[in-house]
Structure 1
Amino acid sequence: MIHLGHALTGLTPPVKALFVYNTNPLSVNPDASSVRRGLAREDLFTVVHEQVMTPTARYADLLLPATTFLENRDIYTAYGHFYLGVVDPVIAPVGEARSNFDLFQGLARKMGFTDPPFMQSCNERIADYLENMQGLPEGCSIEKILAGRLVHSANSRRDGRVLEGAGRKFQFAVEAASPAVPGLTSAGEFADPDLLSRFPFRLIIPPHADLLNSTFGERYPGRLGEVLVHPDDAATWGVADGEKVLLRNHRGSSARIARVTADTRPGVLVAEGIFWQAGEEGGGINDLTSQKLADMGGGATFHESLVTFAGKTAGKSGLAL
């Protein structure tokens, strides 16, 4: 997923078909400008299964309506708690909307696949999943979960144990592990003197309180979002509070509204949230981020980007802030 831009623009032979579901890569993927170039290819057939008209959906050759969580049965866990449960729909699917489960089963049957997962009902698939868990709590059965009982999902260990080892404490560093926990190292782009000379600001992209990644972006059409700029940097670069600025680097550009504040440090720009901007000036904030993988864990490096203010030169001052 992190390398989607490269997959769509840099492979030989090229990817010719893309099926997008449960995501909005043109907004959330790093190096989104390369994703945009890939989606714009005339020889790429793109299918998007979606609930709303996202920036990605606008590039679809075939757009299929998807159900929301209110319209289909599913089994859920979460980041914020440790419980698992089956949730029933509260309304029938609207119009021609179909769930992921129904859509993929239908496609599989049309293509001639007869494997059990493609022939089972939703309840049968959920029951299979539950049967493969490490064990259910005493007094709990699959039938009770299907009927709505919530279950603690820490592998559903009967003994209630989650942490093991000495003292049942989490060990941040283990001497036997190789390598040990590393010391603080300089992030890749920040250590490149050539990039620093051209793009002197470090950009970080924390979540916005009104958004969940790019979810709910349809509520703010055309909104650019803000970028926090330290007063010292604003004075040096001639950036006024409330001014529309264009952030730029060697990957792309993105427009934001400057908010001059001491809530950030000199040299650090903070752009909260992933808004669905699709204006004439630049793209989304992830047009500026890199497809580089983190050295530990292999995740994305969303907060390791260098940028500058397009059309501005250090040394200007005197604007009212």
Structure 2
Amino acid sequence: PSLIGQHRGFFYGNSSGIDVDTNYLTGQSLVRKSPKVTSQVALSDAVLAGEFKFIYVYGTNPALTLPNQTAFRRGLVKNDVFMVVHDPHWNETIEFADVVLPATSYLEKEDIVVPWSHWHVRKSNRVIAPLGESKDEIEVMVGLAKRLNTGSEMVYEPPWEALEKAFDGALAKDTFQQLLDGNQVQMKYKPLDEYQTSSGKIEFVSESDGKKGSTDFPYFEPTKTGPDEYLLLNSAVREYTHTQFQDIVGPIPAIVWINPQDAEKNGINNNDEVFLANTLGKISASTQITDDVPVGVLWSPKQFPGKNGVPFNTVCPSTPQHLGGGPVFNSTVVRIESV
């Protein structure tokens, strides 16, 4: 947008535009030592390499979502790795856990969810009391801190007091008490003529990354495929949010779309079982022949759990993108093999 004179013109998220002090909530602003940060995309390699001996999982299902699943799962089953999963639903990651803790769902706890696509926020009230032995994340963390005799006061600060401090100056005209009383309030937004860059301006090339040889503008680098190789694309399907709701509507379907010309070339009919394979592993899927994908391209629903316990992300590489460090799920190259 900036190339044609648009001051603002695209949207990715507004987390950097609001003024909630998340560093205070995480405790980052109260400690001197910065925590170690590992790329989520490359986490499978780190786990396999033994970088983590204790893993605590909550709010995610990495045994389906992380790329390079073979490496991740091999790392989890090592004898010197201990994993705890804290979740309201039984999922694939729990199968690898040493301890499973039941978590409260959004219906069983009070919370404030800061929006990422608009500026209005309201307190989320609890509908029912926590069922069984389920506990929310804060209750578990405080309980662990007490067992470990952690003396830091920030760990034991009542959560709503911590939130009030973090929201200081973050609301446009309302008070935090009005938010607690159930009113819809509006967040204050940072000035639109300021940018979260080192120069405070729109930068077509990063001052820091530019020294590493980056070009002025992003460019498209086509994924290379060899003879009898295919580009495997994936995307979400409407019944699921990532891997959620499989316990309600059933597993994400293990299917693959294939162009009629590619199907004929490989002697494939509708609903045939095939393997999609590369150097990382192989997954099985049922074929659906369609003109909705071009020649040389396959498509599957993302993160399907797969047949025989081998998930889709087994064949996805764990190499982070050069720009931004994101995943390369849609740069996955596979061969088609007979079952």
1:88 to 1:273, Cα distance in 2 relative to 1, 3 A:
same
State the secondary structure of the residue aligned to 2:92.
coil
- For residues 319 and 165 of structure 2, the distance between their equivalents in structure 1, rounded to whole angstroms, comes to 37
Matched, 1:10 2:49: yes
Partner of 2:84: 47
1:151 to 1:245, Cα distance in 2 relative to 1, 3 A:
farther
Matched, 1:115 2:144: no
Deviation at 1:25, TM superposition (A): 0.3
Deviation at 1:308, TM superposition (A): 1.2
1:183 to 1:4, Cα distance in 2 relative to 1, 3 A:
closer
Which one of 216, 240, 243 corresponds to residue 180 of structure 1? 216
State the secondary structure of the residue aligned to 1:310.
strand
TM-score norm. by structure 1 comes to: 0.82
Partner of 1:147: 181
- For residues 206 and 61 of structure 2, the distance between their equivalents in structure 1, rounded to whole angstroms, comes to 41
Instruction: Say what the alpha-carbon RMSD is for the aligned residues.
Output: 2.5
Deviation at 1:110, TM superposition (A): 1.5
- For residues 231 and 74 of structure 2, the distance between their equivalents in structure 1, rounded to whole angstroms, comes to 25
Tell me, yes or no, if the aligned pair for 1:71 and 1:90 is still in contact at 8 Å: yes
The amino acid across from 2:44 in the alignment is G
Deviation at 1:51, TM superposition (A): 1.3
Matched, 1:238 2:273: no
The amino acid across from 1:2 in the alignment is V
State the secondary structure of the residue aligned to 1:202.
strand
Partner of 2:320: 293
Partner of 2:3: none
Deviation at 1:304, TM superposition (A): 0.8
Tell me, yes or no, if the aligned pair for 1:109 and 1:118 is still in contact at 8 Å: no
Partner of 1:308: 335
**The 10-residue stretch of structure 1 (1-10 or 62-71) with the greater mean CA deviation from structure 2:** 1-10
- Per-residue CA deviations over 1:130-180 (Å, capped at 9, x if unaligned) read 12x5x4212x01111222233444xx13xx743558xxxx96947999542
- For residues 253 and 281 of structure 2, the distance between their equivalents in structure 1, rounded to whole angstroms, comes to 16
1:248 to 1:176, Cα distance in 2 relative to 1, 3 A:
closer
Partner of 1:316: none
The amino acid across from 1:183 in the alignment is Y
Which one of 217, 225, 235 corresponds to residue 206 of structure 1? 235
- For residues 226 and 86 of structure 1, the distance between their equivalents in structure 2, rounded to whole angstroms, comes to 40
* Gap runs ≥5 in structure 1: 313-321
The amino acid across from 2:102 in the alignment is P
1:210 to 1:7, Cα distance in 2 relative to 1, 3 A:
same
- Per-residue CA deviations over 1:66-88 (Å, capped at 9, x if unaligned) read 01111111121244444333211
Question: How high is the sequence identity, in percent, across the aligned residues?
Answer: 24
Partner of 1:162: 192
The amino acid across from 1:7 in the alignment is A
State the secondary structure of the residue aligned to 2:338.
coil
Matched, 1:259 2:288: yes
1:149 to 1:296, Cα distance in 2 relative to 1, 3 A:
farther
Tell me, yes or no, if the aligned pair for 1:221 and 1:276 is still in contact at 8 Å: no
State the secondary structure of the residue aligned to 1:262.
coil
- For residues 230 and 219 of structure 1, the distance between their equivalents in structure 2, rounded to whole angstroms, comes to 31
State the secondary structure of the residue aligned to 1:303.
helix
Tell me, yes or no, if the aligned pair for 2:252 and 2:303 is still in contact at 8 Å: no
Aligned length: 290
Tell me, yes or no, if the aligned pair for 1:84 and 1:151 is still in contact at 8 Å: yes
State the secondary structure of the residue aligned to 2:286.
strand
Matched, 1:38 2:75: yes
The amino acid across from 1:208 in the alignment is V
Partner of 1:315: none
1:220 to 1:137, Cα distance in 2 relative to 1, 3 A:
closer
* Gap runs ≥5 in structure 2: 1-39, 196-200
Partner of 2:311: 284
